[in-house]
Amino acid sequence: MPDGPASGTLDEPQVQAMFDRIAGVYDRMNSVMTAGLHHRWRARAADLAQVRPGDDVLDVATGTGDLAIELARRVGERGSVVGSDFSEGMLDLARVKDPRITWEQANALDLPYGSGRFAAVTVGFGARNFSDLDAGLREMTRVTRPGGHVVVLEITTPTRPPLSTFYRAWFDRVVPLIGRVAGDSDAYTYLPNSVKRFPGPHELAQRLAAAGLDEVRYLLTAGGIIAIHAGRKPPEA
C-alpha cells in the first residue's frame, strides 16, 4: 500500500506539516475522542517514569505539552522538564500552557542532548509517528541516565469483543468523520491507520528491550485500548 493517510504511513515532512496544521484543534479533538480520559492516562505514564523532586526529565514528541506538564508537577521547582517536538505549531501552544518548561524543536530520531542526561524520558501518543521506531527508542534510551526509566504511552488495538468491535467502528468511521467536521479529514484518517500498523504491546516490549532497556513491562488500560510501557536503562550501562 502506498504511503498516505489511509495507510497510516507518512514521510517525516508530511507528519510534521500535518501536526503544524492541526495544532489548533489537537487538544479539543483529544478530549472528544477520549472523553477527557487522556489526562488520566498521562498521569499513569508519569507514575511509571518514577521521577522524584529535583529530577531532570525529557518528554519526546511532546505535542502541546500535557505529559511534560504532568511530569513538571512531579519534579517540582528544583527539577527541570524539557518538552521536545518537531512541530513548531504544537510547541507554540505548549509554550502558552506552561512557560516554565523548556520547549525545544527537536527530531526524536536525533535528539540534541548528551548521553545519560535525563532521569527519565517519556513519549505520549507520539511513538507511532516516528519514521523509524527502533531508532527513536534507541535515542530515548541513549539520553536516559543509567538506572533511569523510559516510558511509552500509546494507543493499541483491543482484540476481544465487544470492545474490539466498538473500537473498529469508532476509529474507522467516527474519528475520520469528526476530523472532517474539524476541518482535516486526512489527519484523522491517518490516526486510526497509524495505530493499526504500530506494534502490539508484546512486540513493543521486545523492541524496547532491543533498544537497551531491562525490566521492561507494560500495562493495558481502558479495556485494552491504551498500553503504557516502561523499561529501565541498566545501572551499569
Domain annotation covers residue 171: yes
Higher-confidence residue of 170 and 144: namely 144
Phi then psi dihedrals of residue 8, to 5 deg = 75, 15
Mean pLDDT of the chain: 90
> 106-141 as b/e, with b when 16 or more CB fall inside 10 Å?
bbbbebebeeebbbbbbbbbbbbbbbebeebbebbb
Helix (H) / strand (E) containing 124: strand 118-124
221's CB contacts (< 8 A; 6+ apart) are 41, 44, 228
pLDDT of residue 184: 76
pLDDT of residue 72: 98
Domain annotation covers residue 237: no
Q: Is the pLDDT of residue 200 over 60?
A: yes
Q: How many domains does the chain have?
A: 1
pLDDT of residue 159: 77
CB neighbourhood size of 199 (10 A):
16
Domain annotation covers residue 39: yes
Mind listing the pLDDT tens digit for each residue in 40-83? 999 999 999 999 999 999 999 999 999 999 999 999 999 999 99
Q: Is the pLDDT of residue 2 over 50?
A: no
Domain annotation covers residue 179: yes
Q: Is the pLDDT of residue 13 over 90?
A: no
Mind listing the pLDDT tens digit for each residue in 27-52? 888 888 888 889 999 999 999 999 99
Mind listing the pLDDT tens digit for each residue in 107-162? 999 999 999 999 999 999 999 999 999 999 999 999 999 999 999 999 998 877 78
Hunting for cell 467502528 — which residue is that?
Answer: 169
CATH of the domain at 41: 3.40.50.150
Q: Which amino acid would we find at residue 55? A: D
Residue 173 carries which DSSP code? I
Hunting for cell 498516505 — which residue is that?
Answer: 4
Helix (H) / strand (E) containing 133: helix 133-142
Q: Is the pLDDT of residue 182 over 50?
A: yes
Mind listing the pLDDT tens digit for each residue in 209-232? 999 999 999 999 998 899 999 999
pLDDT of residue 97: 95
Which residues are registered as beta bridge partners of 220? Answer: 227
CA distance 213 to 209: 5
- Look at residue 209 and give its three-state secondary structure: helix
CA distance 39 to 22: 19
**Domain with 63 in it:** 5-232
